[in-house]
Amino acid sequence: MRIFLTLAAFFFAAPAMAEHHEAAPVTPVTIVIHGGAGALAPGRYSPEEEAAFRAKLNEALDAGYAVLESGGAALDAVEAAIVLMEDAPMFNAGKGAVFTRKGKNELDSSIMDGATLNAGAVAGVTRVKNPIKLARAVMEKSDHVMFARDGAEKFARENGLELVKPSYFKTEHRWKAYKRALKAEKENQKDAALFHDFKYGTVGAVALDAEGNLAAGTSTGGMMMKRYGRVGDTPIIGAGTFADNKSCAVSSTGWGEYFIRLTIARDICAQVEYQGKTVEEAADDVIHHRLQDMGADGGVIVLAPDGSYAMTFNSKGMFRGVKNAEEQIIAIYGEEE
């Protein structure tokens, strides 16, 4: 409803904005981002921590929106926003990723172009500073969609991606959480809350550019304490990321295994494509019914070719934000917008 009013305001307000109208882009350029869904309730973070989260989300929105406002491509906006969040230590992506059971940081990412359905994805890289850039390089510089682990690293080296020492990704905060989890495991504690919470923290963005093209991207350190080269939903096209100009663009965050089994990103766009649902209706069905009914949680950001969007989650909160010509919203907890 809120979205409808926002759009209505946009159109009805047009005559009063006549002096800006000629310069306005053909499509309502928009970027929507998330920084992970999880057990986020007021009080979880100190005011300083919360302010830092909000500032970084605003920075990522601004970076992505600047690309769109200057006529840049949705893919570039998505990449710009995600790079900022990968570089920020507070999100579970790039620097600040959670640790695997062996005490390593293994990163996954994917990106998709709604105009061409081109896509790129990487799973389990350990030395690439910005996995979203590697996913894009896979999309643009190879004939393939997805590379994994040592192979993906080799492709990164051969294609000039910026490499860092594995220790670059380490933060004291995540290391302590890992040590606590190891201790809990050794003591055979079933500290579900501890593990559960660290399934989240993925970052993502969806964008609509002036040409009317959609794009989506997602990046993560995955699930804390993961083993066996576990691949979550983030690098899976149709689960963590999907974009098609015909329907919508989606980036997911949450309990990855359920997002894969439900092909969450594709299902939302399929409901838009085949049932004529709005992105909000489709996201509601998938998150509040299908995902909820399986006892899992998480969230999605979804953007349609007309600029309407949804930021939908069934966890307590989701770091999220949206920026278009009419509004710039940042929120963390439920019902905050």
**Which residues make up the interface to its own copies (CB under 8 A)?**
112, 117-119, 121, 123-124, 142-152, 154-155, 226-232, 236-239, 242, 256-257, 260-263, 266-267, 270-271, 274-275, 294
Give the residue with the Cβ less far from its own copies, 146 or 325: 146
Give the residue with the Cβ less far from its own copies, 6 or 110: 110
SS3 320: strand
Give the residue with the Cβ less far from its own copies, 44 or 230: 230
What is the smallest separation between the CB atom of 301 and its own copies, expressed in angstroms? 19
Give residue 122's identity as a one-letter amino acid code. Answer: V
Could you tell me if 134 and 156 are in contact, meaning their C-beta atoms sit under 8 angstroms apart? yes
Give the residue with the Cβ less far from its own copies, 44 or 261: 261
Residue 335 is given by DSSP the state: T
What is the smallest separation between the CB atom of 151 and its own copies, expressed in angstroms? 2
Q: Which of 6, 202, 234, 312 is catalytic?
A: 202
* DSSP states of 119-186: EEEEEEESSBS-HHHHHHHHHHHSS-SEEEHHHHHHHHHHTT--B--GGGG--HHHHHHHHHHHHHHH
| CA atoms of 154 and 159, how far apart (whole Å) | 9
What is the smallest separation between the CB atom of 199 and its own copies, expressed in angstroms? 10
Active site annotation includes 253: no
Give CB contacts under 8 A, 24+ apart, made by 13-21.
none
What is the smallest separation between the CB atom of 116 and its own copies, expressed in angstroms? 9
Q: Which residues are catalytic?
A: 202
